[in-house]
């Protein structure tokens, strides 16, 4: 009996051992299959890691190659590392004669062994056309500036200085502003004294004289009546003299002269002489300044374009710009950006000045340049306006002839501001409003051709 029980126990033990061995074999096989499936499931991740590693390694080689190449380039450069330059430094690198009547948009200069390349804002086709217009037979000086009002970029700049001078007359503020200052006075009268275009004003005597007797408030059978708008368009000195002396006074005139860029430095890429409007304590001087009947109020042609630009650009003046970019040894070290100069007047005042400027062309002092078919076509299709100015310098037998104006085609956002100054000598050659008209036609030549007009 005991033997039987012993044999059964041995048999059960043997069976249990067999079952445990099978279970272990099953577990081992299961784990192997699980590991295989897990490896295959992770294969995309392994491939991604491998790809990223290859890219990083390759990028490292490229970076190292670039660093070595840069080091080689620096080794080639004899001078110190090239730093970026600021706008005031450009004035030290350029001279006014570098940009006297440029026909190329690029100026190259060797400075300290390096090649500086100045890319200008000059528009070549317009520049060549303006230069071809210059009538130098009877003119001692001519200066023409064409500007983008909303950026300040100079698109054309033409200069004639007489006697073969290399000076750039566009940068000189040695010319009497004459009636261009009436733009400043008109803005001051609108804002400070609530003048409206249809306001009636009385004056005695001639339109283009300024005697002290004409500044008195006298009304008799010889008294003339004229609207503020017509007085501006016809450039009536006694009216603006009375406005300056009886309404504005010294403080307001000084304020608006400053607002329009007089008596202050104007930032530019070339040395630009500041325009001057000295005002004394004498009330008659206020009348002289307000109407431009004096030779001490002086302005540069660049500044003259800014006056017109402020009206078409809703009262804002931008700093004039001539250099777009500068590169040194093929590396860009300067790029210009539009910079506001000053707000000369409110948008409402600028809007009120536009009909005054427009009337100057239709029935004012510039009407002679716009009274034919082409001139009327310009007036009909453009938002356009301007102001003339003229004054004699009798000792030198010179007649200064100004025009400051703007034009925008009614079907386009493109617009320009133009300043023209001609110093006529013995005979009168091409007048400043005629230059303006030709420039408008040239700049908007596609619009004229589309309308059936040919040059």
Across the range 344-359, mean pLDDT stands at 98
Q: Which two tokens stand for residue 265?
A: 């430095």
Most confident of 53-67, 101-115, 358-372: 358-372
Q: In whole angstroms, what is the distance from residue 122 CA to residue 447 CA?
A: 21
Q: Do the bridges between strand 415-424 and strand 398-409 make them parallel or antiparallel, or are there none, so unpaired?
A: antiparallel
Q: What is the pLDDT of residue 180?
A: 98
Cβ neighbors of 330 (< 8 A, separation 6 or more) are none
Tell me the average pLDDT of the chain.
88
SS3 385: strand
Residue 279, pLDDT above cutoff 70: yes
SS3 334: strand
CA 29 to chain centre: 82
Cβ neighbors of 131 (< 8 A, separation 6 or more) are 101, 103, 158
Most confident of 61-70, 333-342, 443-452: 333-342
Across the range 214-227, mean pLDDT stands at 93
**What distances in angstroms separate CA 263 from CA 213, 258, 276, 300, one per listed residue?**
30, 6, 5, 12
Q: HSE of 331 in the Cβ direction (CA atoms, 13 Å)?
A: 12
pLDDT band at 75 (very low <50, low <70, confident <90, very high): very low
Q: What is the pLDDT of residue 76?
A: 46
Q: What is the pLDDT of residue 379?
A: 95
Q: Which two tokens stand for residue 278?
A: 């000295």
Residue 125, pLDDT above cutoff 50: yes
Pick the more confident residue, 83 or 314: 314
Across the range 429-440, mean pLDDT stands at 97
pLDDT band at 26 (very low <50, low <70, confident <90, very high): low
pLDDT digits (tens, 9 = 90+) for 81-98: 668 899 889 988 988 788
Q: HSE of 212 in the Cβ direction (CA atoms, 13 Å)?
A: 4
Residue 169, pLDDT above cutoff 90: yes
Q: What is the pLDDT of residue 216?
A: 92
Residue 433, pLDDT above cutoff 80: yes
Residue 221, pLDDT above cutoff 50: yes
Residue 257, pLDDT above cutoff 80: yes
Q: What is the pLDDT of residue 95?
A: 84
% residues pLDDT > 70 (the chain): 80
97 and 109 Cβ atoms separated by less than 8 Å: no
Residue 48, pLDDT above cutoff 80: no
Across the range 360-380, mean pLDDT stands at 95
Lowest mean pLDDT among 277-286, 372-381, 383-392, 427-436: 372-381
Residue 206, pLDDT above cutoff 70: yes
**What distances in angstroms separate CA 94 from CA 12, 32, 80, 109, 300, one per listed residue?**
110, 81, 21, 9, 19
Residue 20, pLDDT above cutoff 60: yes
Lowest mean pLDDT among 3-7, 119-123, 244-248, 441-445: 3-7
pLDDT band at 446 (very low <50, low <70, confident <90, very high): low
pLDDT band at 51 (very low <50, low <70, confident <90, very high): confident
Across the range 204-215, mean pLDDT stands at 96
Q: What is the pLDDT of residue 421?
A: 98
203 and 236 Cβ atoms separated by less than 8 Å: yes
406 and 415 Cβ atoms separated by less than 8 Å: yes
430 and 135 Cβ atoms separated by less than 8 Å: yes
Nearest to 146 by CA among 129, 167, 164: 129
Q: Which two tokens stand for residue 248?
A: 């504005």
Residue 77, pLDDT above cutoff 50: no
Question: What does pTM read for this prediction?
Answer: 0.81
């Amino acid at each position: 009996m005991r033997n039987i029980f012993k044999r059964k126990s041995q048999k059960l033990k043997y069976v249990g051992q067999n079952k445990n061995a099978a279970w272990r074999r099953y577990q081992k096989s299961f784990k192997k299959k699980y590991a295989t499936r897990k490896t295959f499931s992770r294969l995309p991740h392994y491939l991604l890691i491998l790809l990223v590693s290859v890219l990083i390694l390759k990028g490292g080689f490229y970076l190292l190659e670039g660093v070595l190449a840069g080091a080689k380039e620096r080794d080639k450069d004899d001078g110190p590392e090239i730093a970026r330059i600021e706008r005031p430094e450009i004035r030290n690198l350029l001279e006014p004669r570098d940009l006297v009547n440029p026909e190329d948009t690029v100026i190259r200069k060797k400075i300290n062994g390096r090649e500086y390349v100045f890319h200008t804002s000059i528009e070549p086709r317009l520049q060549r056309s303006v230069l071809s217009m210059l009538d130098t037979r009877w003119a001692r000086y001519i200066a023409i500036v064409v500007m983008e009002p909303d950026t300040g970029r100079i698109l054309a700049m033409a200069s004639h200085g007489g006697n073969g001078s290399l000076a750039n007359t566009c940068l000189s503020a040695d010319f009497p502003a004459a009636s261009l200052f009436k733009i400043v006075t008109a803005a001051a009268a609108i804002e400070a004294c609530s003048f409206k275009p249809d306001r009636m004003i009385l004056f005695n005597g001639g339109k283009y004289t300024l005697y002290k007797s004409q500044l008195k408030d006298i009304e008799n059978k010889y008294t003339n009546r004229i609207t503020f708008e017509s007085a501006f368009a016809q450039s009536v000195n006694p009216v603006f003299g009375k406005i300056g002396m009886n309404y504005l006074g010294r403080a307001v005139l000084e304020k608006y002269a400053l607002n329009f860029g007089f008596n202050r430095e104007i930032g530019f890429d070339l040395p630009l002489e500041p325009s001057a409007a000295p005002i004394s304590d004498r009330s008659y001087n206020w009348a002289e300044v307000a109407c431009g009947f004096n030779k001490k109020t002086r302005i540069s042609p660049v500044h003259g374009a800014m006056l017109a630009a402020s009206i078409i650009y809703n009262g804002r003046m931008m700093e004039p710009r001539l250099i777009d970019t500068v590169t040194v040894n093929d590396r860009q070290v300067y790029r210009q950006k539009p910079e506001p100069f000053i707000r000369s007047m409110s948008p409402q005042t600028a809007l009120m000045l536009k009909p005054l400027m427009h009337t100057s062309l239709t029935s004012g002092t510039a009407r002679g340049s716009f009274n034919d078919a082409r001139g009327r076509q310009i007036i009909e299709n453009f938002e356009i306006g301007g102001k003339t100015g003229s004054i004699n310098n009798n000792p030198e037998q010179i007649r200064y002839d100004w025009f400051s104006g703007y034009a925008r085609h009614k079907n386009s956002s493109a617009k320009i501001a133009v300043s023209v100054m001609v110093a006529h000598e013995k005979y009168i050659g091409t007048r400043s409003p005629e230059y303006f008209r030709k420039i408008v036609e040239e700049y908007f030549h596609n619009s004229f051709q589309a309308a059936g007009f040919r040059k």
